[in-house]
Amino acid sequence: FLASGGLVQSCGHIIPESPVLALGSSFTALCILNESCLDFGNIYASQIIWKIKNRLVPKEQYREINRTVSSVTFNDTSSLATPLTCNILADGQIEQNIYGITVTVGLAPEKPKNLSCVVHQVSRFTYIMTCTWNPGRHTFLDTQFRLRYSWPEEIFPDCIPKDVNNSCTITDIHFFVNTVIWVEATNALGKAESDPLIVDPIDIVKPLSPQNVSVSSGVLPTVLKLSWENWISDAVMTLKFNIRYRIAGDMNWMEVPSEDTASPRTSFSVQGLRPYTEYVFSIRCMKEDGTGYWSDWSEEKTGITTEDQPSKGPPIWRIIDKSHSPASWTVHLIWKALKPFEANGVILQYEVTVRDKSSLSGPVKKYNVTSTNHTLQLPEGTYEVSLIARNSVGASPPSVLLIPARNSKAPVKNLRTIPKHDKLWVGWTAPNSFVLKYVIEWCLVSSSSDCIIEWQVALGDVQGINLKGIKPFKCYLITVYPLYADGQGSGQSVKAYLKQDRPSKGPTVQTKKVGKAEAVLTWNHLTVEEQNGFIRNYTILYKTIDGNETVVTVDPSKTEYTLSSLTSDTLYTVRMMASTDNGSRTGPDFTFTTQKFGRGEIEAIVVPVCLAFLLIVLLGVLFCFNKRDLIKKHIWPIVPDPSKSNIAQWSPQVPAKRNFNSKDQMYPEGSFTDVSVVEIEADDKKCFSEQDLKPFDLLKKEKSTSEGHSSGIGGSSCMSSPRQSVSDSDEGETTQNTSSTVQYSTVVLNGYRDQTPVQVFSRSESTQPLLDSEERSEDHAGGADSTAQRQQYFRQNGGQDETNTDRPCFERTKQIIHANEGDLVGFVQLQISGQSSQPLGLGMEKNTQEAALSNVLQTHTEGKTVRPETVEENPLSFDEMPKSYLPQTVRQGGYMPQ
């Protein structure tokens, strides 16, 4: 660009300036440089480059005409876009734009086609004309359309369409004059005109539809009269009409023949209608000669024809119930209400007539019923039932139904059902005899309610019918009866589904019986509402926890199945599946465990064991019976005679006897009875050796684990009669009779050479009473020496200080005389629970002990004085009493425990 005089001037321009080009044509443009730019910028035409919408044009399309002019040529403008620019490469190869133009590509207008015009009646006296045409192809350019019309001597203003390019409306219309009408289309590439249309506007009128239409019933029940008004004057043109009508609720229209309404009129009577039926009417009109256009249909109007007597009798059927009595029937008569075109009015009542055909003289019974059913109690036989429907005009023809005593006629054959187009088709093969008509019964099968029967009648020449109102996934029981002129055939039934689906739920399986290797499964049939189709089979699927699943197919009529070859003591999971034609459904899982032992296995084990046990017991009883003497000897040993006891040889002949006044204070419970104590006094010069006293120490240690009784030691070795003794255990056990105890004698020695005296016990094996001679001598001895009592006694429990060395080895011997019943003594006769079941050799050991004890006493008491003494008032405590003693064996020099 060059700046000159304060203005910026272009260095060149393009020719042509913003051209409009025909689509697909060739085009050449020239870029001319100004002379001033050549000197100033040192640029030439050879440096010009062309671009289309910033896209470089190939240089093959360039042509340098001279040093200031360059051209570019396009053979096909279809690829040409806007803008087209002329550019130059200045020094340094910098591209600069010189000039640019806008290129428009389009098509010339086509000739408008299919020009047509319609004169519309707007009101009684106002008309407008609207013309339409086909504008042709799209031109991609701004194209103007004009509707032009003229008379031979006059041209009217053009009609220019608004917002459209294919129609225009003229408001100034003149009838009875031919008018020339054409369309003109113009754009930058050219102009085109349609073929002219020459027409009289009166011949292209579309009148208004008839107004104020009314419908009224005539004298006849099949006629309705229509009336209306025309809004176009007969002076302008005459009209013809078209009448259509339909039954209310029906979408199919019927028309009155055109020749019946081809003349001008304002009313018309429509005939051939149904009685007592509502009709809908509509009317339209056009020019009588057929030129022009039909008007729109008028507003719809309705009318009802008058009543007439019913045209036919109601279809009738029966349901016979024979359950009450074998000699009588309960007959349920049912019939269908007549359709409106059959009833021809409002049915007021039905008349039922029953005639007994088996008895010619039987009376005819008549019933007037307002419902569509009636129940009769009839004796078994053949009856003819006729039914008449009556309205306000008259009665229908009778419908006759023959009720035979038995359905002895031939039934239909090959009864079948096929779903077709959401309807269930029922077909059959006709019997060989002539059939008057067929009755088809069907009802919805339900497990919770009775089957409500629906039915319909088919003509005798029909062998199939479509049942309406059938629901999918529901089971229907369908029965077909053939009716003859003289009887009725037996019914044939079939169950059917319109559509099937898989069951709503699966069967619930349970075990009826479980064994070691088998299990009996049981289930209930699905209800008909849950089946949703015909059950074709049941499938049992069972497995262990870690095993493979086993599948068994079962017939759909079964409700029980036995699984065999199972593993004992194993947990199984089982489920069941029901299948229809459209799928399957599985029920819940159920688990069971097989038994560990089979039937009879436990009995086979238990019975022999029980028999063997009984045999062993029997043999044991027999053995005990044969060896009863030996068993008695071990259980009840022979008790030695107390009179032969060795203790009598060393016991004092006459023990002292004394009553204690302090009995109640010392032992208030009176737990102890007669006790005898022997006290031996040794001289100070001779003491028991430690070897001699060792057996006595051992005996002291054993008194915590034994129970004993002190026995009187005096004139006799044992008590002369059964006496009670008291255990000195800590628990204070009750006294026991001496007949069940083992008696002990207590021997107490004075200390020898400052040693602590010990207690010596001699056991007597006898629990029998002493001889009276012994007991009396004991009492006598005790009385003689009662004045020789000592004032000091040893304690029996050995709990005193054994280390006291101030005392002599033996003090004088003390003997507590045999006391009366209830006297307290210082030493206690102790009781040990002894059983009579001791070994037989034990008595012999005891005799040996007694003999040894006698020898010891004789050895250590030589020169000693033995005399009975009574115990002073120094009672022993319960803690100090000896508890129990074990049997002892007498050895040389003392006692030894066993």
Taking alpha carbons only, the member of 583, 500, 586 closest to residue 539 is 586
* 3-state secondary structure (DSSP) of residue 858: helix
Residues 385, 443, single domain; the answer is yes
Which pLDDT score is estimated for 242?
A: 95
Domain range spanning residue 214? 207-305
Tens of pLDDT, residue by residue over 517-574, are 999 999 999 999 999 999 999 999 999 988 889 999 999 999 999 999 999 999 999 9
Distance of CA 251 to the CA centre of its chain: 50
Name the percent of the chain lying above pLDDT 90. Answer: 42
Q: Is 521 a member of any domain?
A: yes
For residue 863, give the nearest of 684, 633, 610 by alpha carbon.
684
Residues 125 and 176 in one domain: yes
In whole angstroms, give the CA distance from residue 572 to residue 627: 59
What is the arithmetic mean of pLDDT over 700-716?
A: 40
Q: Are residues 531 and 587 in the same domain?
A: yes
**Residue 233 has what pLDDT?**
85
pLDDT of residue 602: 79
Q: How does the average pLDDT of the chain come out, rounded?
A: 75
Q: How far is CA 745 from CA 233, 650, 676, 713, in A?
A: 168, 12, 8, 7
Question: Are residues 655 and 868 in contact, defined by beta-carbon separation less than 8 angstroms?
Answer: yes
Both tokens of residue 179? 């008018």
Instruction: Label residue 874 by pLDDT band (50, 70, 90).
Output: very low
pLDDT tens digit sequence for 57-105:
998 888 988 888 999 999 888 878 889 999 887 765 678 888 899 999 9
Quote the pLDDT of residue 737: 38
Burial label for 625, CB within 10 Å (0-12, 13-18, 19+), is: exposed
pLDDT of 349 over the 90 cut: yes
Q: Which of 61, 99, 66, 108 is nearest to 80 (CA)?
A: 61
Most confident of 8-22, 298-312, 848-862: 298-312
Q: Quick check: 244 pLDDT over 50?
A: yes
Among residues 147, 174, 199, the one where a domain terminates is 199
Q: Does 517 fall in a domain?
A: yes
Domain presence at residue 858: no
480 and 352 housed in the same domain: yes
Return the minimum-mean-pLDDT range out of 447-456, 760-769, 776-785.
Answer: 776-785
Is residue 323 located within the same domain as residue 301?
no
Q: Which of residues 212 and 755 earns the better pLDDT score? A: 212
Quick check: is 687 in a domain? Answer: no
Please give the structure tokens belonging to residue 843. 């008595």
pLDDT at res. 399: 92
- pLDDT for the residue 692: 52
User: 271 and 184 share a domain?
Assistant: no
Q: What's residue 146's pLDDT?
A: 93
Q: How far is CA 815 from CA 375, 716, 727, 762, in A?
A: 127, 13, 22, 16
- Give the tens place of pLDDT for each residue, 494-512: 999 999 999 999 999 999 9
Last residue of some domain: 455, 472, 497?
A: 497
Phi, psi of 540 (to 5 degrees): -100, 130
Strands (E), 523-615: 537-544, 550-554, 560-563, 571-580, 583-586, 590-593
**What does the pLDDT look like over 594-637, one tens digit per residue?**
998 877 777 888 888 999 999 999 998 888 888 888 877 777 77
**Residue predicted with more confidence, 785 or 13:** 13
**Residue 766 in this model has a pLDDT that exceeds 50:** no
Residue 40: pLDDT band (50, 70, 90) is low
> Cα 354 from chain centroid?
57
387 and 373 in contact (C-beta within 8 Å)? Answer: no
Q: What is the C-alpha radius of gyration for the chain, rounded to an integer number of angstroms?
A: 72
Q: Over pLDDT 70: what percentage of the chain?
A: 69
Q: Does residue 356 share a domain with residue 236?
A: no
The CATH number of the domain holding residue 290 is 2.60.40.10
Residue bearing tokens 């050879």: 46
Which candidate, 729, 819, 716, 726, places its Cα nearest to that of 768? Answer: 716
- Copy the structure tokens of residue 567: 């593993």
**Calpha distance 287→262 (Å, rounded):** 10
Sheet arrangement for strand 349-356: 365-369, 349-356, 383-390, 399-403
| Termini Cα distance of the chain | 152
Same domain, 44 and 127: no
Q: What is the pLDDT of residue 808?
A: 37
Total count of domains within the chain: 5
Q: Which one of 144, 172, 199 terminates a domain?
A: 199
> Does any domain span residue 19?
yes
Condensed to tens digits (0 to 9), the pLDDT of residues 575-587 reads: 999 999 999 999 9
pLDDT digits (tens, 9 = 90+) for 96-152: 888 899 999 999 999 999 999 999 999 888 999 999 999 999 999 999 999 999 987
Give dist(CA 511, CA 27) in Å, integer: 98
pLDDT at 224: 95
Are 194 and 297 found together in one domain? Answer: no
| Three-class SS state of 36 | helix
804 belongs to a structural domain: no
In a domain, 616, yes or no: no
Give residue for tokens 């005899």: 433
Torsions phi, psi of 827, nearest 5?
A: -115, 145
Secondary structure class of 453 (helix, strand, coil): strand
Q: Is the pLDDT assigned to residue 48 strictly greater than 70?
A: yes
- Enter the pTM of the model: 0.51
**Residues 346, 456 within the same domain:** yes
Query: What DSSP string runs through 85-124?
Result: EEEEEETTTEEEEEEEE--EEE-PPPPPEEEEEEEEE-SS
Judge if 17 and 90 occupy the same domain. Answer: yes
The answer on 163 and 242 residing in a single domain is: no
> Between 647 and 346, where is the model more confident?
346
Lowest-pLDDT choice from 273-277, 288-292, 835-839, 877-881: 835-839
Q: What is the pLDDT of residue 718?
A: 35
